[in-house]
Amino acid sequence: MLETIWFSIWGLAWAVYFALDGFDLGLGTLLPFLARSEGDKRVIVNAMGPFWDGNEVWLITAGGVTFAAFPRAYAVMFSSLYTPLLLLLFALILRGVAFEFRAKVDSPRWRAVWDGCLVVGSFVPALLFGVAFANIFSGIPLDAGGRLQGNLLTLLHPYGLLGGALFVTLFMLHGANWLATRSQGELRARTDRAARMLWPAAAVLSAAFLVTTGFTTPLWHNVLSRPYLLVLPALALAGLVMTRVFAARGAPWRAWFSSGALVMGAALFGVAGRYPELLPSSLDPAASITAFNSASSPLTLKIMLGVVIVFLPLVIGYQTWVYYRFRETLDEKSLDPESSY
């Protein structure tokens, strides 16, 4: 029972992270396509600035849950997937540094360098997360000792790359919806056009991924064996449809919540469809790392559950306040040069 609860917390932490940090990863990727001036860039960066580090708390939470609740899965993940995880870490560090450094020197060349770092530090994690989770859905070539039989290129098969393309596109759509809530004028108009262009691509990639998933993974079989889990792909589908509907109605906040539901529903569908496997092996099912053969002791799981019950509402409450506090739309004139990014 405890293992199942912690598996659910693990999956929920990843889904919330993708829904929150996903929009600023997508917006960072869109930066060169939406910005036409330094003023546009400042609005885009400041639309992410108060939120990105708080959003990454959920990434730390997901990693912490893996480490504390499923230490064997954590060990196998960081030994077998060392190269892609290091690439992900370096990209996230690069993005964080870019936020802080771009406004330190009043030089177009200086800002251009850090804007490029911000784009790379946003696109690479989005792509790697998509590739990684597509590989988890389809199975990773792990042997009985938890060793990866292959290298980074082994993970870049067509289904993995399709997952990467899907994540990048969904995050960009989510990011465009977010910027629509914070921008105005010509930048808002370009953002709305970008969202309209991204939606068909997201719909096509989502359909292709779901169909390919049926042939490549056991996700659909596992979900259909527990029909109540069909609410998860239904949530993703509803989010996809309502994103377009609310965007057409000029309701950007509702469109953003809808694209968030799309991202969360897609992530939870994949995680639930693999229960109880955390790192399924494509070589031998007996070699898979599951919530049961990698869990900490029952006492550890009980103590940590109490910690989560106490502190998680505090984290949610603080983040809710931050989003409420910085909800206003932005323009170049409203940004204080001394305190903004």
- Read off the pLDDT band of 340 (50, 70, 90): low
Q: How many C-beta neighbours within 10 Å does residue 338 have? A: 6
pLDDT of amino acid 338? 61
- Residue written as token pair 């919530």: 291
Q: Does 152 have pLDDT greater than 90?
A: no
- Mean pLDDT value of segment 275-285: 92
Q: Check residues 151 and 298 and name the one with the higher pLDDT.
A: 298
Q: Which one-letter amino acid corresponds to residue 67?
A: F
Please give the Cα distance from 141 to 154 (Å, whole number). 9
Whole-number Cα distances in Å, 216 to 158, 286, 329: 10, 19, 44
DSSP string, 156-216: -SHHHHHHHHHHHHHHHHHHHHHHHHH--HHHHHHHHHHHHHHHHHHHHHHHHHHHHHHHH
Q: Does 105 have pLDDT greater than 90?
A: no
- Mean pLDDT value of segment 268-282: 94
Query: Please, what is the average pLDDT of the chain?
Result: 93
The first and second tokens of residue 89, run together, are 């870490």
Q: Does 12 have pLDDT greater than 80?
A: yes
- Read off the pLDDT band of 82 (50, 70, 90): confident
Paired with 279 in beta bridges are 289
Q: Report domain extents, the chain.
A: 2-334
Q: How many C-beta neighbours within 10 Å does residue 337 have? A: 8
- What percent of the chain is predicted at pLDDT more than 90? 82
Q: Are 182 and 329 in contact (CB under 8 A)?
A: yes
- Mean pLDDT value of segment 332-338: 69
